Structure 1
């Protein structure tokens, strides 16, 4: 298992992972284009991938412009192997070296992702739209929780 920074050449495999998720899928996968991925990875923030046998099986992307976790997905065939947590942690470590501003994300109600973020120390602060829970993580919460 290799965790590394995402590259433009990874986008096709990133899209495969994004579209393979069973929970919290995009209603229209065409809403997130390859160009969107490139912009979020190179201009707005940074991304990471998890690679196993030269195949991308998970990825995460943080957005410094809107102070948001834009993506964190693991292919369902690779669930429960700690990949999501590793991608999550490297992403937040990087994010909080860039800014001390709190970061937020939205995820669907009653999903494994919701439980994942609660266990990782995210604080529920309301809703994002009508179909997602909004979570936030502050620099202080991350550093105190992550240093334990």
Structure 2
């Protein structure tokens, strides 16, 4: 079922409950249509996204404020039910806006060899791109 996480903020809970217990997905109310989601793949990782979500993905070579079309859509759940690709859905896209680029938290690395007076310290900060999901089309 697509509506797993509960009603969105401001949505009528009784309308959501009615919609989530109806059998075919086509006759659902507007409260249940907020739950269209997609599973996308970018940067070697998979993300479950809905319209309006903000997420940090591996760094993309795109300017801040630009629109990005993600074509590696693995699955889409919406009015027509769940569609799963093999491995990707043909013609399905997710459109997102690049909000910013940044660097993640520092991960400390410490290598130590006992009895050798040998220590090595280092760190790593992963670059990321923050996206806001604008549209999902199947």
TM-score in terms of structure 2 length = 0.27
Ranked by relative contact order (alpha carbons within 8 Å, sequence separation 6 or more), the top structure is: 2
* Bigger share in strand: 2
TM-score in terms of structure 1 length = 0.26
* Bigger share in helix: 1
